[in-house]
Structure 1
Amino acid sequence: MSKIKRFFSKKKEEAAFKLKLGGGMGEGHKLNAPKPEAASSSSGSSSRRGRGEVYVPPQRNEISNEARAAAAAALSRIEKKDSRDFNTSLAAVKAQAKRELEAERREKEQLSSAASANSQSSSSSTAGDNKLLACQGVYFRCPLIGEEVLSKQAWKIKIKEFLYQQLEMDRGLTACLIIQNCNPKEKADDCITTLLKYLENLQQHPEEEKFCKIRMSNKIFSDKVRYVEGALDVLQAAGFSELELDNEPYLLWTQEQLEPGLELAGLIEALKNAEPIQLELDRNIKVLLPSQARRVILPDDFYRISPEEIKREQQLRAEAIESSQMLKTKAMRDREEQRNLRMYRYTLIRVKFPNGLYIQGTFNVYEKIADIFEFVQSCLADETLEFNLVSTSDGKFSEEDLDKTLYDCKLIPNILLLFTVPAIPAPVAADVNFLKEELLMLVQSM
């Protein structure tokens, strides 16, 4: 029998089975038709029971309210999961990424906890040292330019700005000052020596062509003049102008281009006599209470060399002493002391008055003892008062000591001097205020 015949034969058998099953279940009726009579119903039911018991499903207990709530919650979760949109998924991805980055960050923090602890301790100690500094730095004045009190680096910038502002009004003389103040000393000295040679040759032989032009590619000119601040301005004021000859840059001199009112002799003299603009050291006066005159910690500006070099030198010296384990001779101690003194450029002087107040000032190590007396005298309410300054180590200064430098007297890097008045007994002086009233306003707040 072919597959097709078998297929239709099977369908016929299934149809006959359904027909036989349907006939035993009674006739059907329309939904809107009247219900059949009870007799027919009873006969029908009896006939069905006659053929066999009809399966009656067992009655189930009603589900509890808790079960209904759990089912509703599960259904809600399924519906919510199926109804997620793109924005929610993106937020979930971002949240997960954030959690992973946070976990990675915590892991890195745990790995570098020791290093970060060391860094924090060093930074906190540095901040503490800054609070304990006896002064915040070394400051200067420049009466030629202004009355501001600034650091040396700030004054270098201000002086440079001031000179370039004056350049158009007086190019020759201002350019000489720019060379001295805006370049390293060695570079400025080499430049001035070369410029003097150019200008003196031109002054002595103005008609010789070789002295009237300068080849800018010349090695000496390039190394010592061309790239020095102010040098080309000096040559411009002297009458030189730039032009190109044979495809090479030259400076060519003519008498007509000389700056009005300026002569070569005057410019040569200005080059010889120009000096760096001098700054005056500001005393940076402070008035301290006894409780504020703590151990002196000096800022880096007081040293000639960098703090790193100081620490390295001290470490090497300590290692050398430890390795040698030998007694030092007086000559060895003197050499080491001189080496220590040369580390400092400035010194901090504190003067203690009988009433317990201190005044503090900054001095150059090469200033004289007399400068300290003048400083103290300028702070007194009665500047005619005769007083003495007594060193806690060397006693009272003599007349011969007044001309000695602080370096000679080894008052470096800081020293405490006692203020005494021969005419006033010590118990009485303890109740006297010797300072000017305006200085009392400088008392440092705690």
Structure 2
Amino acid sequence: MSAIKKFFQKKKMDFKFKKYGEGHKLDEPVQRPPPTQRSVSQPRTSSQSPISPRGDASMTEEKKRAAAAALARMEQKEKQSKQDENIMSMKARMRREMEAEKKASEKMLAQAQAMQGPVEIEKDHSPVIPHVLYTCPDIGPAVLPKDEIDAYIHEFLLSQLAEEPEMSSAVMIQTLNKDKEKVRICVETLIKYLDNITNNPGEEKYRKIRMSNKAFKERVSQLNGTDEFLQACGFQIKQLPFEDNEENFYVMSGETAEDVERLSGLKEVLRAAEPIQCQLDRALKVFHQSSGSSKFDIPEEFYSINPEELKKEQQRRQEAVEKLGMLRTKAMRERDEMKELRKYRFTLIRVRLPDGILIQGIFKANEKLSCLYDFIRSSLENDWMPFVLQTSNGSKLTEETKTMAELGLCPAVVLHFVWDESIMKDVHAAQGGGATSSILKPDIMAQIQSL
């Protein structure tokens, strides 16, 4: 039994050795199997490639395509990264430019304020100016507030209707209506009515204007002075049949329509009429030399906005800071500048003369600097002598075409009067070194008072 067992064990061992191939001697060189015949138990090295049933050539093309795709993805990521960096760089550059612009604007504002003298206007309790007044020299000597001067002009025009109805009513249309575009359309429409009549004097339809007509109501009847003008032309209001009803019409008689020469003259009156315009009263005042020249009492009329809106100034400044976080175009900046210029309607200007006397006047914020020079020159005894106006820091105001608002002279400022040095030398030489007691006209010096 033991011999049989040994026999089977020997057969089993022989079978195992045959599985590993033929035997080798110890001094025989080792032969490694080709890569394609790698043993299952051997680990794959990094230099060995997986076996592909499609062959090595197709695998190489696939690897090339995969590598190209990977390279393209990497290049896309790098390109996107560069674009993001460029955008961030551009935003940072724009922010720096806006901050530089803000600093430059603040510097210019500080310079303008320095030109004005005090940074903040110190208001006095004395009633220097209770309100802004207007005058209209063409119709009378009255000096009144704006609403009262408008009523004064209206009353004057009504009083002239009896003597000159055509011209007075045409001037009413131009003066009593503030929308100049509507006035233009109204005048053109009235001239068209008169043209139709003069070109067709025998046609009755052209001598009637239905008062409820939409075009007539929108273009003519809603404006002041049109009823007076139509009646001055010879139209009369009558009720006439219209679509199974009766309506009011302006009707001109056939006899009046035949006077073509008169109707042509009415058209010329309409074209030639100009509005009566009131003027801002300068409220000329002369004060003795005073240390309180920089104290002002500014009426609310000086501002384009009411006092409640002025309280929102802090909010406006906050919004200005927030604007740094957004890109602003040149047009947006110009609109902001125009808003700032329209902040004030008037300005109170005092000019200190060489002898210390102060002369004061009121000007519109959009008036040019030349108006201030004319105002000063008209008050001088020797109005031919050249002079210049300076700010408190010595800057000369010579750009006479710029407005008071553009020069930073609103809402109040104290300026200095300086004679032309070369002219003054000649004057002193002619007077033997002496000087006149005052450079203002005697009638103006008679109004001097204490500030």
Same fold (TM over 0.5): yes
**Does structure 2 retain, via aligned residues, the 8 Å contact 1:347–1:411?**
yes
- Partner residue, 1:209: 204
Amino acid paired to 1:173: M
- Partner residue, 2:214: 219
Q: Within 1, Cα distance between the matches of 2:394 and 2:337?
A: 17
- CA spacing shift, 1:334–1:416, aligned 2, 3 Å: farther
- Partner residue, 1:374: 374
**Does structure 2 retain, via aligned residues, the 8 Å contact 1:137–1:301?**
yes
The gaps in structure 2 that reach 5 residues or longer are 1-121
**Does structure 1 retain, via aligned residues, the 8 Å contact 2:366–2:404?**
yes
Secondary structure of 2:360's partner?
Answer: strand
Confirm whether residue 179 of structure 1 aligns to residue 177 of structure 2: no
Secondary structure of 1:210's partner?
Answer: helix
Question: How far does residue 273 in structure 1 lie from its aligned partner after superposition?
Answer: 2.8
Identify which of 406, 410, 413 aligns with 1:412.
Answer: 410
Q: How does 1:119-198 map to 2 (within 5 A)?
A: 131-132=125-126, 134-185=128-179, 187-198=182-193
Identify which of 407, 413, 438 aligns with 1:433.
Answer: 438
Structure with bigger gyration radius: 1
Q: Which has the higher contact order (CA 8 A, sep 6+)?
A: 2
Q: Which moved more, 1:210-219 or 1:362-371?
A: 362-371
Q: Within 2, Cα distance between the matches of 1:356 and 1:395?
A: 19
Q: Which moved more, 1:252-261 or 1:405-414?
A: 252-261
Q: How does 1:44-443 map to 2 (within 5 A)?
A: 131-132=125-126, 134-185=128-179, 187-246=182-241, 247-257=246-256, 263-288=262-287, 289-312=289-312, 314-321=313-320, 336-393=336-393, 395-398=395-398, 401-421=399-419, 422=421, 423=424, 433-443=438-448
Q: Within 1, Cα distance between the matches of 2:401 and 2:320?
A: 36
Secondary structure of 1:196's partner?
Answer: helix
Q: Provide, for residues 371-417 of structure 1, a one-character-per-residue CA deviation record: whole Å limited to 9, x for no partner.
A: 3222222222333433322123571244xx23433344333333322
Question: How far does residue 270 in structure 1 lie from its aligned partner after superposition?
Answer: 1.9
Q: Within 2, Cα distance between the matches of 1:436 and 1:147?
A: 22
**Does structure 1 retain, via aligned residues, the 8 Å contact 2:124–2:295?**
no
Q: Which moved more, 1:407-416 or 1:247-256?
A: 407-416
**Does structure 2 retain, via aligned residues, the 8 Å contact 1:355–1:430?**
no
Secondary structure of 1:163's partner?
Answer: helix
- CA spacing shift, 1:351–1:189, aligned 2, 3 Å: same
For these two proteins, the number of residue pairs brought into alignment is: 314
Secondary structure of 1:340's partner?
Answer: helix
Q: Within 1, Cα distance between the matches of 2:335 and 2:239?
A: 60
Question: How far does residue 162 in structure 1 lie from its aligned partner after superposition?
Answer: 0.7
More helix by share: 1
- CA spacing shift, 1:222–1:371, aligned 2, 3 Å: closer
Question: How far does residue 359 in structure 1 lie from its aligned partner after superposition?
Answer: 0.8
Percent identity of the aligned residues?
36
Q: Within 1, Cα distance between the matches of 2:339 and 2:235?
A: 50
- CA spacing shift, 1:379–1:327, aligned 2, 3 Å: farther
Q: Provide, for residues 330-359 of structure 1, a one-character-per-residue CA deviation record: whole Å limited to 9, x for no partner.
A: x89886554222122322221112332211
Question: How far does residue 325 in structure 1 lie from its aligned partner after superposition?
Answer: 9.0
Amino acid paired to 1:418: H
Secondary structure of 1:217's partner?
Answer: coil
Q: Provide, for residues 200-247 of structure 1, a one-character-per-residue CA deviation record: whole Å limited to 9, x for no partner.
A: 222222222321111222222233333433212211222221222222
Secondary structure of 2:152's partner?
Answer: helix
- CA spacing shift, 1:302–1:395, aligned 2, 3 Å: same
Amino acid paired to 1:196: I
Q: Which moved more, 1:219-228 or 1:267-276?
A: 219-228
**Does structure 1 retain, via aligned residues, the 8 Å contact 2:197–2:257?**
no
Superposed CA RMSD in Å reads 3.7
Q: Within 2, Cα distance between the matches of 1:372 and 1:228?
A: 36
- CA spacing shift, 1:394–1:293, aligned 2, 3 Å: closer
The gaps in structure 1 that reach 5 residues or longer are 1-127
**Does structure 2 retain, via aligned residues, the 8 Å contact 1:282–1:362?**
yes
